[in-house]
């Protein structure tokens, strides 16, 4: 299995592993912040996604950045984000279908 950090590091050349990790960590913080800002009723449309855990991970990444495992971030990117992406796309489709033309 190829590490996401290695793949990005190869593409950007000068970036170190730490820079790539920090960039991914910040994106996960942004995702968690976005989840916190959503109306809880919207999130009920995708009950299989652990929205509360996503928000909690945001808090951990933002406030305990020196206590964050690369393996956990890697597993989140590999295993969890694909399902979140699909769920968000479905929620956006539902929302656009509800908008008057």
Give the pLDDT of the chain (101 residues) as one tens digit per residue. 455 555 555 555 556 777 888 889 999 999 999 999 999 999 999 999 999 999 999 999 999 867 778 888 889 999 999 999 999 999 999 888 776 65
pLDDT of the residue at 12? 56
pLDDT of the residue at 5? 53
Two structure tokens written together for 70: 């690369």
pLDDT of the residue at 1? 44
pLDDT of the residue at 101? 58
The whole-model pTM stands at: 0.76
Backbone angles phi, psi at 75, to 5 degrees: -65, -40
CA–CA–CA angle 47, 50, 52 (5° rounding): 110
- DSSP output for 24-93: HHHHHHHHHHHHHHS-HHHHTT-TTS-HHHHHHHHHHHHH-GGG--HHHHHHIIIIIHHHHHHHHHHHHH
């Amino acid at each position: 299995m190829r590490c996401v950090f290695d793949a990005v590091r190869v593409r950007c050349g000068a970036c170190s592993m730490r820079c790539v990790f920090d960039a991914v960590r910040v994106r996960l913080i942004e995702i968690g912040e976005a989840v916190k800002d959503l109306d809880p009723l919207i999130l009920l449309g995708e009950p299989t996604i652990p929205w509360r855990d996503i928000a909690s991970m945001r808090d951990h990444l933002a406030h305990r950045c020196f206590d964050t495992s690369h393996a956990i971030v890697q597993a989140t990117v590999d295993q969890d984000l694909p399902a979140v992406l699909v769920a968000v796309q479905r929620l956006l489709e539902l929302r656009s279908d509800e908008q008057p033309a």
